[in-house]
Structure 1
Amino acid sequence: MSRFRVTYRIFAASLAEARARAEAIALEQTVEIPRDVVPAGYIEDTILGRIEEIGREGDSQFRATLSYSSDSAGSEFTQFLNVVFGNSSIQRGLRVMGVDPGEAILARHKGARFGIEGLRRLCGRAQGGLIAPVIKPQGLGADALAEISYRSALAGADIVKEDHGITDQHMAPFRERVVKIAAGVARAAEETGRRALYFPSVAGHPWEIRDNLRFARDAGADGFLIMPGLLGFGLMHAIASDPDLSLPVMAHPSFLGPYVLSPDTGIDHGVLFGTLQRLAGADISVFPNVGGRFGFTVAQCQAIAEACSDPMGPGVPILPSPGGGMSVERAGEMARMYGSDVVYLLGGSLLRLGAQIGDGITAMRRAVDAAGAQ
């Protein structure tokens, strides 16, 4: 049976201490009992985690690669994550730096349904960066949000994405909003001959989400914005792999910040926003852009983008989607940093243009295309 591998950064005073911590992780992530009472045979030989490699990375830092049986992960994506970093995530001085799912896990969790090529086909843009205005702010009614969406689609947006903070509030209830925005995007398509993809923010109580998804699909939604940090990676995986829905998924990073912000705990940026998003079925992974208000570095953003688009990663390559600090003036810088396979999120700066919001999208389109041609 194929095994999957997880690489951890372990903070320890010595190699001996790091190895002892790695042995404890192998137990904690699988059998969760003392080593001396692990049953011989199948449990000891297969289920128990194994240290495959360990070595010094830096001062008081070590890298350890452990392997786990795919039997431990079962068929659920959530249990796979539980083995990767369940109880051990509560420890200090431990960070996930890499995940290699192996053949068996990839057979169960195939990754994105559409990926880069599929999304380009759906939105009709064969090359160049994709532009996605964010429809907001919270508090506007459904008619006002639909008007912004219409103007954005008319101006050449590739994806019309709702803000993650717009869910099912009384100001713009989910179903009313979806119907009106989908109609606005469709009207723009009739006038231009080119359709933008509409991604509503998934909303509803847990018992309502399934029906809301199907309602949105039938109303004309082209994909879904999902917050796996709030709704769960398991739910996103289920939505992405549901053959009845068969629509692309954009993953939003809300509530995921604590996983990556500390250098000595949590999960590496590229792993969380790249590898795990791909495995969970996201076609687009949103993350805070360098130069925005959240403080991700150039190296962290590049690591995410590379993990999303690496052809050797799990499943098909997906589109990284940096948000924050986007402007016409930074288009060249962003194109050099991210290349052409990227979704640029345009947020609050567009709203300053009011009824001329389309002019801002058109200007960004020209700037992105010009930067890509250099």
Structure 2
Amino acid sequence: MSEALRVTYELTCRPGEDPEDKARGVALEQSAELPSRCIPAHVYDEVVPRIEALEPREDGRYHLVLAFPEAITGYEPTQLLNNLFGNISLKSGIRLTDIQWTPALLRALGGPRYGIAGVRGLLGAGERALTSTALKPLGLDTATLAGYCADFARGGIDLIKDDHGLCDQASSPFRERLHACQRTVDEANAATGRASLYLPNVTAPRGELEARLDAAQEAGCKAVLICPFLTGLDALIWARERYDLALMAHPAFAGSVAGAEHGLDPALLLGEITRLFGADMVVYTNAEGRFPTYDQPLCERINDRLRRPLDGIRPALPTPGGGVDAARAGYWLERYGRDTVLLIGGSLYAQGDLTAAAQRLQAVVEGH
């Protein structure tokens, strides 16, 4: 018997649904995928997760802990996800909330290439909090976007990323935008003595993803933006292993698997799984922004999972966005601490003079 991977679920039972039957169903569906009477005894012992706990909660749900034999994952990241939440994703009332990782699976996943210290090193930023913004809106031409990029870099913004909606549209083709924006950031850095980074959005189907990552590295980029819930989470591992680039992960599409009663706890998905698959920075929607389902306690749980010790795994940078107001930068830094990237867009654009707005934000962050 291999070492056990302990996985915690919340079960919500419909009227008449038996929690023990539901728990056994999860264990079988995520492993042998047959009724227990059809499984040879030795196979059952080797592959079917053991129910370690099934307890009622005050809210009417049930707390379920399964001990998976880690060997059934094949130590493959894609099969790991399949074992954790494969067929049961097609059922209802099952929520994955916690995983006690084994050393072998932590080694198989690997975590960030750079982590917090590595990203700080790329920027020469010391121990302070970091800033980020996005080039938007979709539909602008390359010259305008590159101009915004130059304005933000002159103002000192650390990480200037493509908006996740920018790809290879006719209004601003990927390679044209890549070279124009990287050039303007290089010129601004030469003038200011800073080390701002431009992050092109490389999200694309796998063949084009490779071509865009190649182009980004050849252009001199040191970091990129990727939407791993569109490309597949394993694209993070692949990019981490093949390219010397820091990876900022965007949560587009993640909400489709992160529900209140079914799916994955967002803190586990964005804070821990995305980190383990290789993200150096993870964007999430901040409390009090335009995504009201993310409250401050949830955001703090995401932060904790991104930073907390995991054997041999570098911590990653929380990157709260989605409506963070520049005027409240100090407030969020007080709550989230210096190992944070504040991703601020709309409230900088609203000030008109982008360089001056960036300088004001940077002064708050660097003086905090």
Query: Does the 8 Å CA contact 1:307/1:313 hold for their aligned counterparts?
Result: no
- 1:331-342 aligned within 5 A: 331-342=329-340
Residue 13 of structure 1 and its aligned partner are, at CA, apart by 7.2
Distance in 1, matches of 2:139 and 2:202, equals 17
- State the match for 1:214 in structure 2: 214
What is the deviation of 1:353? 3.4
Residue 6 (structure 1) aligns with: 7
Check the 8 A contact 1:305/1:320 in 2, yes or no: yes
1:32 is aligned to 33
The aligned residue for residue 125 of structure 1 is: 125
Aligned residues: 366
Which residue of 2 is the match for residue 83 of structure 1? 83
* Structure 1 partner of 2:46: 46
For the pair 1:108 / 2:108, whether they are aligned, the reply is: yes
Aligned partner of 2:196 in structure 1 is 196
Give, in angstroms, the shift of residue 113 of structure 1.
0.9
Amino acid of the residue matched to residue 37 of structure 1? Answer: C
Match of 1:285 among 260, 282, 286: 282
> 1-side partners of 2:143 and 2:100: how far apart?
46
Distance in 1 of aligned mates of 2:40 and 2:299: 44
2:354 is matched with which residue: 357, 362, 367?
357
> Which SS does the other structure have where 1:315 is aligned?
coil
Change (3 A) 1:351 1:24: same
Counterparts of 1:134-149 in structure 2, within 5 Å, are 134-149=134-149
Note if contact 2:280-2:316 (Cα within 8 Å) is conserved in structure 1: yes
- The equivalent residue for 2:55 is 55
Contact 1:228-1:253 within 8 A present in 2 as well = yes
Q: Which residue of 2 aligns with 1:246?
A: 244
Question: Which piece of structure 1 moves more, 246-255 or 51-60?
Answer: 51-60
1:154 corresponds to? 154
Contact preservation (8 Å) 1:278, 1:314: no
Contact 2:6 2:99 in 1 (8 A): yes
AA in 1 matched with 2:270? F
CA distance in structure 2 between the partners assigned to 1:168 and 1:286 by the alignment: 22
- Bigger CA drift: 158-167 or 330-339? 330-339
The amino acid of 1:69's aligned partner reads: P
Tell me the secondary structure at the aligned position of residue 198 of structure 1. strand
Select the residue among 363, 366, 371 that pairs with 2:363. Answer: 366
**Could you say what the CA RMSD is over the residues aligned between the two structures, in angstroms?**
1.9
CA contact (8 A) 2:32 2:44 kept: no
Cα distance per residue 1:288-321 (max 9 Å; x no partner): 1111111111111111111111124772111011
5+ residue gaps, structure 1, are none
User: Runs of 4 or more off by more than 6 Å in structure 1?
Assistant: none
The reply on whether 1:328 has 2:329 as its aligned counterpart is no
Q: How many Å separate the matches in 2 of 1:205 and 1:40?
A: 43
Report the counterpart of residue 223 of structure 1 in structure 2.
Answer: 223
Amino acid at match of 1:340: R
Residue identity in the other structure for 2:306: C
Given the superposition, is the C-alpha separation of residues 313 and 264 from structure 1 closer, same or farther in structure 2, using an over 3 Å criterion? farther
Tell me if the contact between 1:168 and 1:204 (Cα under 8 Å) persists in the aligned partners: no
**Alpha-carbon shift at residue 188 of structure 1 (Å):** 1.0
TM-score normalised by length of structure 2: 0.95
Quickly say closer, same or farther: Cα 1:77–1:124, change in 2 above 3 A.
same
- Aligned-residue offset at 1:328: 3.4
8 Å CA contact 2:204, 2:231 repeated in 1: no
Rounded Cα–Cα distance in structure 1 between residues aligned with 2:14 and 2:146: 58
How far apart are the structure 2 equivalents of 1:250 and 1:277?
Answer: 10
Q: TM-score w.r.t. structure 1 length? A: 0.93
Q: Paired residue for 1:318?
A: 316
Q: Which residue of 2 aligns with 1:92?
A: 92
Tell me if structure 1 keeps the 8 A contact 2:324–2:344.
yes
Secondary structure of the structure 1 residue equivalent to 2:99: strand
2:268 paired residue number: 271
Secondary structure at the aligned position of 2:257 is classed as helix
1:303 aligns with 2:301: yes
Distance (whole Å) between structure 1 residues aligned to residue 10 and residue 128 of structure 2: 36
Equivalence map 1:343-354=2 (5 Å): 343-354=341-352
Counterpart Cα distance in 2 of 1:357 and 1:313: 42
Instruction: Give the CA deviation at 1:215.
Output: 1.1
- Structure 1 residue 2 displacement after superposition: 2.4
Q: Does the 8 A contact of 2:326 with 2:348 survive in 1?
A: no
The answer (yes or no) to whether the contact 1:129–1:343 under 8 Å persists in 2 is yes
Q: By how many angstroms is 1:92 displaced? A: 1.3
